[in-house]
Structure 1
């Protein structure tokens, strides 16, 4: 299995080699890994322990090698490498405003690889293994699930080399976060291909309801993953925000943002839908238009 994605700006297809790729394959593709190792890796204590290591002052020694290996553009960051106080301080670094202009329409909440489904029912056709994905299980709320049964589903996967702050995709008023406890499965394509529903309905996750005039209520749900020490909220609930305002950030590790938007009120950009149907992710950046 190759992890491939399309660079939206150039149209080029790239192959992603995630850190720890061999270990991920062992965990999710190998019977021994699934039985003996995965039960340990998904537990909170391991991700919390590693997250604490990444906040120690001596963790700054990992930054330069990480930047070089994953070819991270530090010209976009507000601070230089020498100014970070820990690896996590670098990991959830802020970017210069000019690095992520806010475009028209409905925007991507962050940097990452995107899949988009006009109808939620199409998700199970894409991820055919494992039990069927249901909104009620994902949200833990029967009435809210019913409200969004006609929604489109957008999944933004953040890799370790991506910008790890996330923002509001549309102007509106956000609710407080609803938190759902869970495990810490990886959100890599290896894990999703093995069992999409297990990852999204058993992982730690949070969501807010963003009330908007034109799009109705939008669900914005950050989902934790292996080695994500924490999901940090940075906005104030029940106060109107503008599209592109910061919502929060992830500590060390890859993770995901899930969006639910009424399909009658959002026309997702055709290239993203086409790529998804062709079973390939689209690389987008925060602030980039993904729908009208």
Structure 2
């Protein structure tokens, strides 16, 4: 294996403006490097026996972490992943199972919604490593290497393929250390069409797998729905399942209004969760800290701003030179946020 495979992913930490390495247990990292970083490993992953194994261990993991006995594993889980417990809604001893701790809620003041009453500012839907691509083509060129990746295969919808063909893609990847409830990045109304459940596989969704020819995002178990907004048009949401963490519970239903930052659902161990993918019908928003997004993955907490509608930004720059666009975007959005 080449040296590139043994390096941990480099993450830009949005809160501190530092570059950090993502923590991955050594045994897991070694296994992933073999299975997805070598030709032999990828051949093994595609066998029916291995795919059946992933489904079985995912189901068993859910049973194990739903059992009362799993409460004894919470402390080790926190220590192993370095989880910050200061923002938890309840004291640690009130969580009866590891799964209950895993999808814990946070204190109301832990994640203030950026520009809460401003529909033109986007917020991160979850604690995640966020990848933002202005176009679907760029997402395929830089990050998603699956041979069958396109909007039609991702959403299972011809209409979505037409709506989002020239739009932007935001991929939010969660890790075990993260808060595992997800929220709406926009203000709007959940689409009237029934939630679409798709796929049958449970591949890992870590970078090493996404960046291979394996069709992870278009074959894994997943959920698709849309949110209608006044500012950004239609926004598509795809929740993609993964090995072990593959259970999703929705807090919102079809046709319901949703506020920016409001909870949509949560993930749990067991059997369709992990990355949260948002599709925008056109490249209608300007990314905060643009150069950082183009250079590397960004670690971002739920409710933090990551973009703003072009039209709103243009109004504030009407008298400014175009050369100031990139330099001013993060400062401008920050000031909008501070007003709220």
Report TM bin, short chain. Answer: over 0.9
Q: 1:38 to 1:89 in 2, by over 3 A?
A: farther
Q: 1:92 to 1:12 in 2, by over 3 A?
A: same
The 3-state SS of whatever aligns with 2:86 is: helix
- Structure 1 or 2, whichever has the larger Rg, is 2
Deviation at 1:263, TM superposition (A): 3.0
Unaligned 5+ runs, structure 1: none
8 A Cα contact 1:48 1:228, kept in partner: no
Deviation at 1:137, TM superposition (A): 1.0
Provide the rounded CA distance (Å) in 2 between the counterparts of 1:283 and 1:54. Answer: 27
- Bigger mean CA deviation after superposition, 1-10 or 173-182: 173-182
Q: Which residue of 6, 15, 23 corresponds with 2:21? A: 15
Q: Which residue of 106, 116, 122 corresponds with 2:138? A: 122
TM-score scaled to structure 2, two decimals? 0.80
Aligned to 2:330: none
Unaligned 5+ runs, structure 2: 116-120, 309-340
Aligned to 2:149: 133
Q: 1:131 to 1:10 in 2, by over 3 A?
A: same
Deviation at 1:85, TM superposition (A): 1.0
Matched, 1:265 2:284: yes
Aligned to 1:182: 200
Aligned to 2:91: 80
8 A Cα contact 1:110 1:286, kept in partner: yes
The aligned runs of 1:76-225 (5 Å cut-off) are 76-104=87-115, 105-127=121-143, 129-131=145-147, 133-175=149-191, 176-195=194-213, 198-225=215-242
8 A Cα contact 1:170 1:243, kept in partner: yes
Deviation at 1:46, TM superposition (A): 2.3
Aligned to 1:24: 32
Aligned to 2:294: 277
Provide the rounded CA distance (Å) in 2 between the counterparts of 1:28 and 1:184. Answer: 14
**How big is each residue's C-alpha offset from its partner over 1:242-281, in whole Å with a ceiling of 9 and x where there is no partner?**
1111101111288200001133432222x2x423432x21
Aligned to 2:61: 50
Provide the rounded CA distance (Å) in 2 between the counterparts of 1:236 and 1:132. Answer: 30
The 3-state SS of whatever aligns with 2:109 is: helix
Provide the rounded CA distance (Å) in 2 between the counterparts of 1:236 and 1:129. Answer: 32
Q: 1:257 to 1:128 in 2, by over 3 A?
A: closer
Deviation at 1:222, TM superposition (A): 1.0
Q: 1:41 to 1:113 in 2, by over 3 A?
A: farther
Deviation at 1:38, TM superposition (A): 5.9
Provide the rounded CA distance (Å) in 2 between the counterparts of 1:110 and 1:128. Answer: 20
Aligned to 2:44: 36
Q: 1:115 to 1:99 in 2, by over 3 A?
A: same
TM-score scaled to structure 1, two decimals? 0.92
Higher relative contact order (CA 8 A, sep 6+): 1
Provide the rounded CA distance (Å) in 2 between the counterparts of 1:266 and 1:41. Answer: 41
Aligned to 1:290: 306
Provide the rounded CA distance (Å) in 2 between the counterparts of 1:91 and 1:252. Answer: 8
**How big is each residue's C-alpha offset from its partner over 1:31-90, in whole Å with a ceiling of 9 and x where there is no partner?**
443333564554423211211111111111211011122221111011222111111001
Aligned residues: 288
